[in-house]
Amino acid sequence: MKNPYLPYPVRISKVEIATEDKTLRTFEFEFLNREDAAAFTYLPGQFAELSIPGFGEAPIGIASSPTEGDHLTFTVSRAGKVTTRLHNMEQGDVMGVRGPLGHPYPLKDMKGKNIVILAGGYAVTTLRSTMIWLLHPENRDNYGEITFIYGARTPGMLLYRETLEEWDQRSDVKTYITIDNEVEGWDKYVGFVPQIADQVSPEPDNAVALICGPPIMIKFTQPVLDKMGWTGDQIIMSLENRMKCGIGICGRCNVGPYYVCKDGPVFTKAQLDELPKEY
């Protein structure tokens, strides 16, 4: 059995500045060994520890979908030691990826249901993965209506702008892209994600909502969904607690009886309502 602390060696195959303020970069990685690519089987919602020798590891949600091929995509905010080092690395540099870690979104249980995705800021990463996976021709017919609501502060802070445009053109997705305040030339939505959710008013019947965003967005989105009759079992969220081992051993990430790394990071709102607010 592979040592769970050992990362797979990967090469940075692409780096892009992702937002106008340059605090986010999107990295694509290729595995150095074919057998490692085959062993790294993942689904949307999972994360990995990005590992840089001499600097440490940082848990980051996987933004690519396995339906896109063998490469892995991560969008990383420059926050501290590891992520700052990563922002200084270039195409061709070699580092490590340890994972996949955690549970994915419950894609099997979501079959046959309408899906509502609510994303704010750069927490959209694993929901990008989910959208790409759901819209893949092999998966799309297994799901009902897809509604995608995503907000950022300004147009330049939206991630994956070309992909958003593609989704906007599709007839089988209702896409609502929003920014906080009016900007000249902006022809999509204006307002915070909870306000847009209120206007769109997605029906809870036979539906599941996936929410990922900053705490303030989640706080104000919950009452909007409650008002429409959504229950805690229908709302699925992903936590980003501080982590170290990522595999349920060090006890660094626990909330109530759960290790967020191993039992999550994906939880239903009903599960989280039972927990102390340590997340």
Binders in 124-153 for ligand FAD, by CB under 6 A: 125
Q: What is the H or E stretch that residue 163 is in?
A: helix 161-169
Binding test (CB under 6 A) with ligand FES, winner from 259, 269, 271, 279 = 259
- Residue 270 binding target from ligand FES, ligand FAD, none, CB below 5 to 8 Å by type: none
- Residue 27 binding target from ligand FES, ligand FAD, none, CB below 5 to 8 Å by type: none
User: For the chain, what is the total number of helices (H) and then of strands (E)?
Assistant: 9, 15
Strand partners, 28: 14, 73
Using CB under 6 A as the binding rule, whether residue 253 contacts ligand FES is answered as: yes
Using CB under 6 A as the binding rule, whether residue 96 contacts ligand FAD is answered as: no
Binding test (CB under 6 A) with ligand FAD, winner from 18, 60, 127, 208 = 60
Binding region for ligand FES (CB under 6 A) out of 160-168, 184-192, 220-228, 242-250: 242-250
Strand partners, 230: none
Using CB under 6 A as the binding rule, whether residue 261 contacts ligand FES is answered as: yes
Residues 6+ apart with CB under 8 A from 101: 46, 47, 48, 49, 59, 246, 247, 261, 262
Contact assessment for residue 10 and residue 30, using Cβ atoms and an 8 Å cutoff? yes
Contact assessment for residue 131 and residue 117, using Cβ atoms and an 8 Å cutoff? yes
Binding test (CB under 6 A) with ligand FES, winner from 12, 140, 248, 268 = 248
C-alpha dihedral sign at 238, 243, 249, 252: negative
Binding region for ligand FAD (CB under 6 A) out of 26-34, 187-195, 216-224, 240-248: 240-248
Own/partner contacts of 242-251, CB < 8 Å, gap of 24 or more, are 243/49, 243/59, 244/57, 245/5, 246/47, 246/49, 246/57, 246/59, 246/98, 246/99, 246/101, 246/102, 247/4, 247/101
Binders in 177-236 for ligand FAD, by CB under 6 A: none
- Residue 209 binding target from ligand FES, ligand FAD, none, CB below 5 to 8 Å by type: none
Using CB under 6 A as the binding rule, whether residue 267 contacts ligand FES is answered as: no
Nearer to ligand FAD, 242 or 277 (CB): 242
Using CB under 6 A as the binding rule, whether residue 73 contacts ligand FAD is answered as: no
Using CB under 6 A as the binding rule, whether residue 58 contacts ligand FAD is answered as: yes
Taking residues 76 to 95 in sequence order and writing x for each that binds ligand FAD by CB under 6 A, - otherwise, the string is xx-xxxxxx-----------
**Edge-to-edge strand list for the sheet holding 235-238:** 189-190, 173-179, 146-152, 114-120, 207-212, 235-238, 266-268
255/272 Cα distance (integer angstroms): 9
Nearer to ligand FAD, 47 or 143 (CB): 47
Residues near ligand FAD, by CB under 6 A = 47, 56, 58-61, 75-77, 79-84, 122, 125, 240-243, 265
Residues near ligand FES, by CB under 6 A = 243-246, 248-253, 259, 261
